[in-house]
Amino acid sequence: MSKATLQRRPLVKKILDGADDNLLVIAGLGSSNWDITEAGDRPLNMPLWGAMGAPVSMGLGLALAQPNKRVLVITGDADLLMSLGSLATVATQQPENLAIVVLDNEKFGETGNQASHTSPLNNGPTESGAGADLALIAKGCGIADVGIVRDSGEVAQLVKDARTKKGPIFRLIKVMVEKLEFVMPPQDGAHLKDRFRQALLGHP
């Protein structure tokens, strides 16, 4: 397996660049939360501080409720590994407005960078996973439009796909392991929910 070269923060910033009221974003707990917040905290971001395994399902519920808005789920490999079945549930509904972007650093980042199941097999006593291919899993679950992004030349197309391509689409991005600053949004879940609804619906 080739060593990842993409950095998650500038990548997420590009994906969210110029986000308007048409873009609804849900980010998984930990790094993905800090990533979208670094790009710019906004009411139509729903950054999770817990509820591991929730983002894809939450994105689906939101996409079905708001078919005219673009719903973008940004999360990590370990978060998605906890809810692989949710990909099959997405496929039963085929939401055209849903994009799922998974930042795969092959680690459980928040707990000390332990190898996740997407790390290579037979990679030493502490760094081994299963070489699990989340894009292949998504495809096998019934999401036809999947892709893997590994280098900077593919980023412009990724941004376009994530923002506008007919869904459901699934993109796996192989990113570096980095030590990054925590950039934190408000933590109060009720506040995050209320400000999101206020911005979207005009009432909490």
Partner 1 sequence: MNAETSADWRDEIFEVFQTHDIKQVYHVPDAGHSRLIEHCQRSNAIRTVPLTTEEEGIALAAGAWLGGQRSALLMQSSGVGNTINMMGLTKTLRFPFLTLITMRGDWGEFNSWQYPMGQGTPKVLEAMGVLLYSVETASEVKRTVDAGARAAFHGGQSVAVLLRQKLIGIKDFGKKKTAK
Burial of 190 (0-12, 13-18, 19+ CB in 10 A): exposed
- Candidates 6, 12, 29, 62; binder of partner 1 (CB under 8 A) is 62
The 167-196 contact track toward partner 1, x by CB under 8 A, reads ----------------------xx-xx--x
The least distance separating partner 1 from the CB of residue 186, rounded to whole angstroms, comes to: 12
Among 94, 157, 197, 198, which residue sits at the site for partner 1 (rule: CB under 8 A)? 197
Interaction of residue 63 with partner 1, rule CB under 8 A: yes
**Residues 1, 17, 41, 64: which binds partner 1 (CB under 8 A)?**
64
Query: Residue 142 CB, nearest distance to partner 1 (Å)?
Result: 12
**Shortest Å distance, C-beta 89 to partner 1:** 6
Please state the separation of Cα 160 from the chain's center in Å: 15
- φ/ψ of 15, rounded to 5, equals -65, -35
CB of 30 to partner 1, least distance (A): 15
40 binds partner 1 (CB under 8 A): no
- Residues found near partner 1 in the complex (CB under 8 A): 24, 26, 46, 50-66, 69, 83, 85-86, 88-89, 92-93, 189-190, 192-193, 196-197, 200-201
